[in-house]
Amino acid sequence: MPRNILVCVAWPYVNNAPHLGHIAGMNMPADIFARYHRLAGNNVAMVSGSDMHGTPTALKAIDEGVTPEEIATRYHEIWSRCFEQMGFSYDCYTHTHTAHHQEVVHDIWNKLDEHGYLFEASQSMPYSLTENRFLSDRFVEGTCPNCGFDGARGDQCDKCGRTLDPADLINIRSKRDGSTPEFRDTTHVYLKLSAFQEQLSEWVATKDDWRPNVRNNTLNYLREGLHDRAITRDIEWGIPIPRDSYEHKRVYVWFEAVIGYLSATKLLAKERGEPDLWKSFWEDPAAESYYFQGKDNIPFHTIIWPGILMGYRGLNLPTDVVANEYLNLGATGFSKSRGNAVWLPDYLERYDVDPLRYYLTSIMPETSDSEFTWAGYLAANNNELVATFGNFVHRILTITNRNFDGVVPEPGDLDDADRTMLAACDTAITDTAAALEARHFRDGLRAGMSLAQQGNRYVDQKQPWATVKQDKQAAATTLWVGLNIIATLKTVFAPFLPSSCEKIHGMLGLPGTIAEDGWSRVEVKPGTKLGTPEPLFRKLDDSIVDEENARLVRPG
RNA sequence: GGCGAUGUAGCUCAGCGGUUAGAGCGAACGCUUCAUAAGCGUUAGGUCACAGGUUCAAAUCCCGUCAUCGCCA
């Protein structure tokens, strides 16, 4: 019985280009997970989109003299293109500045209102007289009343760590232009998050398979008691509010961005011409949903979004919130303040996709922050992908091609070594599946590489290149087993290295597509004509490490 | 300031109460030559962040300290 698996990927905030840190922790694991489940025969909807709204984009637009929509659209297109090139298999990748999304947000808003979870309250906020806008905490600074530091922000002083309110600042001024704001009252709509305290606590208590940081962070929030949160902002860029006298305010980005998971699923249903499709992911109690994102937005997915869903009623809560730590840019010359990073569009211009997918997965920050280094990338490509995996495939195919006219040979009787090897193939299929089901992506990848190593050992021991001269049948058996190892590798690596595995599929002369084979060990049939063997991965020169590091040191 | 996660071989990590602490990569040495000078084997390398404690027994549990990252205030 196929399962319904909703794969939700955090919505990137599009006011800059994507870099490797963005995709390592969420897009990669989500895509591997989605691809695995599709192969396993489950119904998958992998959804996300660009988060278009919010203050940073609005301000950047003012500074560049264009509309916020232009900025957001420009970056949305860049992100979309990169995701496509990376092979991220979204069923729907949309953005938040659409009539459809707005409709879904308003539906949620109205239901929450009906159910009594919204209320109004007013607060006093700094208002810029030069820009005619309210300034959020982060956009005012002044002298800290506690330590006298002059660069204290509206929410806290970086010098002494004291928490502040904008009203506490001495000589408060706009961070934008230095002008002095005045305090004005402003009314906002709040979400009564505190109402869900008990319900959320009970729900989280059942989630004993969540990663420790996700679970503990969430429990900590609940222990401290939930606060009601303002879900509107004084800003013109965003989703309009379905309420009178809120013409100059918009829905708070975080409130509406998480709703994107639902609106994107509904959009997918619409696009596929199956209007009720979304229900099988959101209303079927047996459906599962997995949310992939970085550690910084755990509470939005374990508290706020579930709270919204509880208030709306009738929609599934997250099965798991898979939060990864951060991927940092390693040692050589990295300077965060100068904005140096490995930008995805740059990478894609110069190198292949699968080696990056491989390396990022192998260092995925599952339990702690990890570091991307070009030396590590080079080593992973040359020593693991090329030498162990790619070369195994190539050597078997080449020997077969040369001695058996590129046709899968007929095996003779299998001996213990042959049977052990085939059993190892079955184990690799189940091990990888178990790792991915448990959302242990590095483990899953290792299971695949371990099979390639076993294959190399097996072939070394059997020496088909020698036996073919005296005992052609023995060589035939070995190569048949070898080709079956390749067929298995093609499956277990498919979620990680989709385009390489598609190539292998062709080189093995297998019918149909990888998708049709599913998550099972496909046996190669004697007599099948093989495709032309070609190297799967290209070896990179050591010099790229210095070249790339030099790029990082250069500012901008 | 509070909370959480992380700290184990040169690197990336596994182990999370019980024999001499493991894997992959890297290194050294040897074997091999079908293959993208690829493969295989052997060896070296660790006071398990630091300091206490509980236990017959701790990398593993408890307490404290330090470091890194994140969140909250």
Of A212 and A155, which is predicted with more confidence? A212
Whole-angstrom distance, CA of residue A540 vs CA of residue A385 = 11
pLDDT-above-70 percentage for chain A: 96
Whole-angstrom distance, CA of residue A355 vs CA of residue A387 = 13
Residue A491 is encoded by which pair of tokens? Answer: 């499956």
Whole-angstrom distance, CA of residue A445 vs CA of residue A37 = 15
Residue A469 is encoded by which pair of tokens? Answer: 């001269």
CATH architecture of the domain A112-233 equals: Beta Complex (2.170)
Chain B bases near protein Cβ (<7 Å) = 1-7, 11-14, 24-26, 33-36, 38-41, 68-73
Flag residues 346-405 of A with CB < 7 Å from strand B. 362-363, 365-371, 376, 379, 382-384, 386-388, 390-391, 394-395, 398-399
Is the Cβ atom of A440 within 7 Å of strand B at any atom?
no
pLDDT at A287 over 90: yes
Which range has the top average pLDDT, A59-63, A142-146, A357-361? A357-361
Q: Which pLDDT belongs to residue A520?
A: 93
**Residue A184 CA, nucleotide B16 C1', distance (Å):** 55
Flag residues 201-260 of A with CB < 7 Å from strand B. 212-213, 216-217, 220-221, 224, 227
A416-437 and A27-39 helices, crossing angle to 10°: 120
Q: Under a CB-based contact definition with an 8 Å cutoff, are residues A26 and A83 in contact?
A: no
Strand segments, DSSP code E, in A226-295 are 229-230, 232-233, 250-251, 288-294
Q: Which residue is nearest to nucleotide B73 (CA to C1')?
A: A163
Query: Would you identify the CATH topology of the domain A373-517?
Result: Isoleucyl-tRNA Synthetase; Domain 1 (1.10.730)
Nucleotide nearest to A216 (CA to C1'): B4
Q: Which pLDDT belongs to residue A158?
A: 66
Whole-angstrom distance, CA of residue A479 vs CA of residue A456 = 12
Q: Which pLDDT belongs to residue A555?
A: 45
The rounded Cα A186 to chain-centroid distance in angstroms is: 37
Residue A114 amino acid letter: E
Q: Under a CB-based contact definition with an 8 Å cutoff, are residues A530 and A507 in contact?
A: yes
Q: Which pLDDT belongs to residue A500?
A: 96
Residue A91 amino acid letter: D
Which range has the top average pLDDT, A11-15, A120-124, A477-481? A477-481
pLDDT at A143 over 90: no
**Residue A370 CA, nucleotide B6 C1', distance (Å):** 10
Could you tell me the CATH superfamily of domain A4-110+254-352? HUPs (3.40.50.620)
- Delimit the domains of chain A by residue range: 4-110+254-352, 112-233, 373-517
Q: Which pLDDT belongs to residue A159?
A: 65
**Residue A83 CA, nucleotide B69 C1', distance (Å):** 27
Residue A71 is encoded by which pair of tokens? Answer: 């900025």
Q: What integer is the mean pLDDT of A68-81? A: 96
Nucleotide nearest to A327 (CA to C1'): B69
pTM of the model: 0.94
**Residue A297 CA, nucleotide B65 C1', distance (Å):** 30
pLDDT at A160 over 70: no
Q: pLDDT confidence of A135, banded at 50, 70, 90? A: confident
pLDDT-above-90 percentage for chain A: 66
Q: What integer is the mean pLDDT of A482-486? A: 97
Closest C-alpha to A113, from A187, A198, A191: A191
Q: Which pLDDT belongs to residue A332?
A: 41
Dump pLDDT digits (tens) for A496-540.
999 999 999 999 999 888 999 999 998 999 999 999 899 999 999
Torsion of CA A460, A465, A467, A469, to 10 degrees: -170
Q: Which pLDDT belongs to residue A335?
A: 42
A498-507 and A391-403 helices, crossing angle to 10°: 10
Q: pLDDT confidence of A162, banded at 50, 70, 90? A: low
